[in-house]
Amino acid sequence: MDYKVLNPTIFLFATAIITAIVSLATGSSWSTIATIGIALLGIGTAIGLPVGLIGGAIISGAYFGDKMSPLSETTNMAAAISGVDLFDHIKYMMYTTAPSFIITLILFLGIGFYFTTDISSEQIEKALVVISTKFVISPWLFIVPIAVIAMIIKKVAAIPALFFGTLLGGVFAIIFQPEIVIEVSGASINSISSYYMGVINAMIGDVNFTTVNASINDIFNIEEADRTDLLKSGGMYGMLNTLLLIFCAMTFSGSIESTGLLRRIAEPIIKYAQNTGSLIATTACTCIFFNITTSDQYMSIIVPGRMFSDTYTEKGLAPENLSRTLEDSGTVTSVLIPWNSCGAAQSAVLGVATLAYLPFCFFNLISPLMTIAYGYFGIKIKKLDK
């Protein structure tokens, strides 16, 4: 990733495309945001873009790829709960998802053309020199993410794939960045134990190259309150608060579903579904409602999927309409809610408040409106075969 390639004008546009490609290949918006998303956030902040705007571009692209990937758990779940073939589901989603993403890219491109920055090429060159003197930048390092993507494509189980990727990343760090590994370990001598501790500390604890961050912030004259830690990571320890919130959300959503409370609340909503447009709109609103009340993305797919399945059949609508609506409204809106597990996780990973990036998650905001519009105008509404 280089400033010589990504200039401020097309940065947001390119960010959405890059995260979409990575998420499509990996099937995970979470992994995309936690890796390439963090790097793009640091670069965008250094350019001078608002963090909320950058976060919106990252999340928009990541959730587009997540929706359209056959490796995504939400994509598989929406297809399974609706009784639709996976690739039929993805093909049918293209009708609403592609226009939503195209509009999103146009908006980000338009914002980029109106954006002005005081950052000069000399400042960018200085920042590149600071980074290159501290780190070894080599094309060989792409082997690690490519290996992980290859395992995901081969449908290797998640834990073995992640373990192998972590192990390979540690080995490459020792080979290409031995001084950095020793610095992270806190030791002063080169030894096997120092390398081991350096890799373990990078995975578990806080890693922050303060001097490099300070130099980059000084080069771009970033105010103290707005300073960014481009080279900072919290490891697994930094995710404990988010994981605790996810466990609480899962416990809460499971308990209220098993007691029938959510079904009791949501069932009266079905009576408003009198035609195709109102049925799809009711389904979309129910998914958003469940995202808000259960704090869990999966509940917003599973419960409405069960609730409306028979209704779609009674209306003569193919189950592809239901699976598409579940994804267009349930999957993408979860990240917009601060107390939802998705919103809390992405906010913690990026270090950007949910309400700061929410107005700029154009794809996530447009998707439910697009699927509702298709319903009311009768666009690409598949009927059941007699």
Q: What is the pLDDT of residues 332-351, one digit of tens each?
A: 999 999 988 888 888 888 88
Q: 333 to each of 81, 105, 281, 329, how far by Cα in Å?
A: 19, 18, 14, 6
For residue 71, tell me if it sits in a domain.
no
Tokens 């979409």 belong to residue: 20
φ and ψ of 317, to 5 deg: -100, 140
For residue 161, tell me if it sits in a domain.
no
Average pLDDT of 123-136?
65
Indicate the range of 216-220, 237-241, 254-258 predicted with least confidence. Answer: 216-220
Residue 3 has a pLDDT of 42
Given pLDDT bands bounded at 50, 70 and 90, which one contains residue 356? very high
For residue 305, tell me if it sits in a domain.
yes
* Contact present, 56 and 359 (Cβ < 8 Å): yes
* Contact present, 75 and 66 (Cβ < 8 Å): yes
Indicate the range of 25-39, 193-207, 269-283 predicted with least confidence. Answer: 193-207
354 compared with 162, residue with greater pLDDT? 354
What's the pTM? 0.74
Q: Which domain holds residue 331?
A: 237-377
217 compared with 288, residue with greater pLDDT? 288
Is the pLDDT at 2 greater than 50? The verdict is no
Give me the chain's average pLDDT, please. 79
Dist. CA 305–CA 300, nearest whole Å = 8
Given pLDDT bands bounded at 50, 70 and 90, which one contains residue 359? very high
Is the pLDDT at 110 greater than 60? The verdict is yes
Residue 56 has a pLDDT of 94
Average pLDDT of 116-122?
62
Candidates 361, 362, 365, 335; CA nearest to 29 is 335
Is the pLDDT at 238 greater than 80? The verdict is no
User: Looking at the 3D structure of the chain, how many domains does it have?
Assistant: 1
From the number of C-beta atoms within 10 Å of its C-beta (0-12, 13-18, 19+), residue 378 rates as exposed
For residue 24, tell me if it sits in a domain.
no
For residue 249, tell me if it sits in a domain.
yes
183 compared with 331, residue with greater pLDDT? 331
For residue 251, tell me if it sits in a domain.
yes
Residue 82 has a pLDDT of 85
Residue 288 has a pLDDT of 92
Is the pLDDT at 297 greater than 50? The verdict is yes
Segment of 166-170, 238-242, 293-297, 366-370 carrying the highest mean pLDDT: 366-370
Tokens 């090429």 belong to residue: 121
For residue 70, tell me if it sits in a domain.
no
For residue 101, tell me if it sits in a domain.
no
Residue 377 has a pLDDT of 92
Is the pLDDT at 206 greater than 90? The verdict is no
Is the pLDDT at 208 greater than 70? The verdict is no
Given pLDDT bands bounded at 50, 70 and 90, which one contains residue 311? confident
Dist. CA 7–CA 3, nearest whole Å = 6
Candidates 321, 327, 252; CA nearest to 292 is 252
